[in-house]
Each structure stands twice: as structure tokens, then as C-alpha cells.
């Protein structure tokens, strides 16, 4: 078996330059903000895994149930052609595996490409999947899917791009529109897009997921400051920041923040920056938008996709939408 093809669109120096730019810009803005992706650096990924196991955190188990129960239907809905699957933000490629297995069982999984920023993790998951799917062509893309969609593999099979876990809701409105336009431009008519989205529901259910009783979400949110201490020589006191999660009913969005509980002055030595915080001043650390199904279908249609099917869990908490490029 040949080694998996790797497409390297960025390396550690690119990631470091991006980090420095984003942090400098974010912490000198008003209000202050930091990119949500920084939460997942190192220990953050472990904390997120712990968060997904909390009883209040419905997202992961709801989407997992949809994909497990609906994998055969999803595979059937893709037609009869061989399929090349690309998963954006793949991580360990755990979310997409029921669909991969259903396609493999039908003899239609031609290829799988995990797309993520961590080269080591992409290579690790490819080694693992080589045993699980020995007949599929495997390749990996190391890059930022907001910048490098032009590097999607195109070997003339029908392609399925999967974007799961509700990450789509972490984009602001204009970013969502731009992402969908860029993805549509990278695909051919007839290619598929499988999108996992968090649906609008009782705000108490949503807020509980971001304020779990064990405090894992709070620790996950504060972890972003540990990342800056480690990577940029900062001297944040993470425990002096309060985790805040607010629900905006008008925009159906959770807004995550860190609020300073005392006056502070923070040195970021690697950037030559000295940042002050007043009591109550906040750093915006991410959003998570929830969607009405019809609203999401309209967004997809406006970007050149036609939704053909969608699935939900028993509580209508999450939705998995299958759309075709037109």
C-alpha cells in the first residue's frame, strides 16, 4: 500500500505568525477579542473532549446519534457513484466514521481526506484509518479551511465535503457567507456538502451546555489565556477571569467571554505588548450561532447549494444537512 498523499498548505511558522497577528489585533481592539480556534491548542482539546461528556452538553451526543442512526440513509442519498470524502476540521475523524463505514460497506468509499491544521494529528488518523478502510485511497490536507479550500483533492470522483460538530456556527454572519461561497467555488456541480448544525431550542438547554455544573466549559474558556502564557510569554492570571456565556435571542447566538475580576496589567513579552484590564472588562472569546432549518437551507441556497435531505435527533437539538452543489 502506498503512503498517503499529503498536501501541506501551512506549517508551524505560518501558525505562529497567524497567532501573533490575531492576538495583537484582538487585544488592542475595543472590545478585546481572541479567535476561538486558540481554545483547542494542546490541553484545550483534552478539555473539550471532557466537555462533550458532560450531561448538559447535548451537541456531540446528539450529532453522533444522528450520524450513527442515519449513516446508511446518508450513504444511499449520495447516489450510486464512488465517493471521495473530505472532512473539514477532522481531528480524530471520529464524527464522520459511521458515514465512511456505510459507504465502505456498500463498496463506494473511494477516498478519505482529513483536513486539519495539525500535521501530526492528520498523519496519526491516516495510519489508524489505513487499517479500518484498507480499500480506500487515503490522503491528508494540512491547512486552514477558511483559506485553503482551493486545495481540495479532485480525482474526478463525486466528492462529499463534511463539516460537522456545529463549528459552522462559530463563524460570524459574513464569515459564514464567505465560507459557503468559497466552498461552492471549490466544488463541481453534483458534489455534496454534509453540514452539522446546532438548532434553535429552549434557551435554558443551550445556556446549560455552556455553563455545565462541573465547570468544564469555564476551564475550557480560560484555557485560551494559558495558551497565550505558554506561546507568547504572557503573564495572564487565568483564575482572575470569570467565564461568561450570554444568549442573544435576536441573533440566536451564544456569546462567550472572559471578564476581568480585578484591575490587571498583562505583559505579552513575545509581542512587546503591555495590556491593561479594568474590573469587569471582557475579552470576547467566541460565538456559537443556532439555526432554524429553513434559515440554514436559505443560506445554502444563496451560496449555490440545494438541500436534498436533513436529519435530526429525537429532541430536535442538532441537524445534519445534506446539500448538493448546483
CATH of the domain at 147: 3.40.50.150
User: For residues 301 and 144, what is the distance between their CA atoms, to the nearest angstrom?
Assistant: 24
What's the Cα-to-Cα distance from 153 to each of 141, 161, 300, rounded to whole Å? 9, 11, 22
| pLDDT value, residue 1 | 57
Q: Is residue 280 domain-resident?
A: no
Q: Is residue 38 domain-resident?
A: yes
User: For residues 139 and 136, what is the distance between their CA atoms, to the nearest angstrom?
Assistant: 10
| pLDDT value, residue 123 | 94
Number of other CB atoms surrounding residue 121 within 10 Å: 18
User: For residues 104 and 107, what is the distance between their CA atoms, to the nearest angstrom?
Assistant: 5
Q: Tens digit of pLDDT for each residue in 202-245? A: 999 999 999 999 999 999 999 999 999 999 999 999 999 999 99
Residue-number span of the structural domain to which 25 is assigned = 1-228+291-326
User: For residues 239 and 188, what is the distance between their CA atoms, to the nearest angstrom?
Assistant: 49
Q: Is residue 54 domain-resident?
A: yes
Q: How many domains does the chain have?
A: 1
Q: At what angle do helices 216-232 and 12-27 cross, to 10 degrees?
A: 110
What's the Cα-to-Cα distance from 284 to each of 35, 45, 72, 196, 254, rounded to whole Å? 9, 20, 40, 24, 11
Q: Is residue 271 domain-resident?
A: no
Q: Kind and range of the H or E element at 289?
A: strand 282-289
Q: Is residue 211 domain-resident?
A: yes
Give the pairing of strands 32-33 and 282-289: parallel
Q: Is residue 240 domain-resident?
A: no
Q: Is residue 140 domain-resident?
A: yes
Q: Is residue 7 domain-resident?
A: yes
| pLDDT value, residue 41 | 77
pTM of the full predicted structure? 0.95
**How is residue 35 written as a grid cell?**
479567535
| pLDDT value, residue 110 | 96
Can you list the residues of the chain whose pLDDT is less than 50?
none
Amino acid at each position: 500500500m502506498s503512503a498517503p498523499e499529503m498536501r501541506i498548505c501551512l506549517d508551524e511558522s505560518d501558525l505562529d505568525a497567524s497567532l501573533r497577528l490575531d492576538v495583537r489585533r484582538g487585544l488592542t481592539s475595543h472590545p478585546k477579542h481572541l479567535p476561538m480556534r486558540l481554545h483547542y491548542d494542546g490541553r484545550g482539546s483534552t478539555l473539550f473532549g471532557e466537555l462533550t461528556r458532560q450531561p448538559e452538553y447535548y451537541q456531540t451526543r446528539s450529532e453522533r446519534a444522528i450520524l450513527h442512526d442515519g449513516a446508511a440513509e446518508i450513504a444511499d442519498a449520495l447516489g450510486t457513484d464512488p465517493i471521495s470524502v473530505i472532512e473539514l476540521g477532522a481531528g480524530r475523524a471520529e464524527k464522520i466514521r459511521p458515514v465512511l463505514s456505510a459507504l465502505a460497506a456498500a463498496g463506494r468509499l473511494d477516498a478519505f481526506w482529513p483536513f486539519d491544521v495539525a500535521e501530526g494529528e492528520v498523519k496519526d488518523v491516516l495510519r489508524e484509518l489505513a487499517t479500518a478502510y484498507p480499500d480506500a485511497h487515503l490522503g491528508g490536507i494540512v491547512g486552514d479551511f477558511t483559506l485553503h479550500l482551493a486545495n481540495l483533492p479532485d480525482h474526478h470522483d463525486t466528492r462529499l465535503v463534511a463539516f460537522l460538530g456545529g463549528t459552522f456556527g462559530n463563524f460570524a454572519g459574513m464569515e459564514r457567507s464567505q465560507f459557503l461561497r468559497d466552498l461552492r467555488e471549490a466544488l463541481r456541480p453534483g458534489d455534496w456538502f454534509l453540514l452539522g448544525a446546532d438548532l434553535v431550542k429552549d434557551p435554558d438547554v443551550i445556556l446549560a451546555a455552556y455553563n455545565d455544573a462541573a465547570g468544564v466549559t469555564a476551564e475550557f474558556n480560560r484555557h485560551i489565556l494559558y495558551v497565550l502564557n505558554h506561546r507568547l510569554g504572557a503573564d495572564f492570571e487565568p483564575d482572575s477571569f470569570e467565564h461568561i456565556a450570554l444568549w442573544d435571542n435576536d441573533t440566536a447566538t451564544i456569546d462567550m467571554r472572559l471578564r476581568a475580576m480585578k484591575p490587571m496589567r498583562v505583559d505579552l513579552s513575545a509581542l512587546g505588548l503591555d495590556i491593561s484590564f479594568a474590573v469587569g472588562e471582557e475579552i470576547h472569546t467566541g460565538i456559537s450561532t443556532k439555526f432554524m432549518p429553513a434559515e440554514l437551507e436559505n443560506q445554502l441556497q444563496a451560496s449555490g447549494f440545494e438541500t436534498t435531505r436533513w436529519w435530526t435527533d429525537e429532541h430536535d437539538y442538532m441537524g445534519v444537512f445534506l446539500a448538493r452543489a448546483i
